């Protein structure tokens, strides 16, 4: 019975290993593509990430907790999370002009999401 068990388990184990390897390769490829897009967008920005953070902090009146380039936008935009009075505000800053495009309460802060558009 042990021999039958081995005949079944070995191909199954080989298949699991091959599938997990393929998934890891696909994830690595997606990560490289995302990094490349972020670098391209970042190089097109006319303002620095530091400047975008200052603009977001001034707009909300809080302190930046996290900042990154928005790789899903069609233009260069920075996404900054700013904390004020225990609430997280998502601030979208135009990477070319430095103007605030949108301020909204984060899902973590939920209820009564304030949306300002400028």
Using a cut of 0.85, tell me whether the model's pTM lies above it. no
Residue 45: pLDDT band by 50, 70, 90 thresholds?
confident
* Domain annotation for the chain: domains and CATH numbers: 45-117 (3.10.450.40)
The two beta strands, 115-117 and 87-94, are unpaired
Q: What angle do CA 118, 53, 102 make, to 5 degrees?
A: 20
pLDDT (0 to 100) of residue 96: 93
Q: 64: helix, coil or strand? A: strand
The total of other beta-carbon atoms located within 10 Å of residue 110's CB is 10
Per residue in 81-90, pLDDT (tens digit) is 999 999 999 9
Per residue in 4-33, pLDDT (tens digit) is 656 666 666 666 666 666 555 555 556 777
């Amino acid at each position: 019975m042990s021999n039958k068990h081995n005949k079944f388990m070995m191909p199954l184990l080989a298949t699991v290993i091959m599938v997990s390897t393929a998934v890891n390769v696909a994830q690595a490829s997606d990560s490289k593509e995302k990094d490349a897009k972020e670098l391209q967008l970042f190089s097109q920005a006319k303002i620095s990430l530091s400047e975008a953070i200052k603009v977001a902090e001034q707009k909300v009146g809080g302190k930046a907790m996290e900042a990154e380039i928005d790789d899903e936008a069609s233009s260069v935009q920075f996404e900054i999370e700013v904390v004020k009075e225990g609430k997280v505000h998502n601030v979208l800053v135009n990477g070319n002009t430095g103007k605030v495009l949108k301020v909204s309460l984060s899902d973590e802060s939920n209820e009564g999401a304030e949306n300002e558009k400028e």
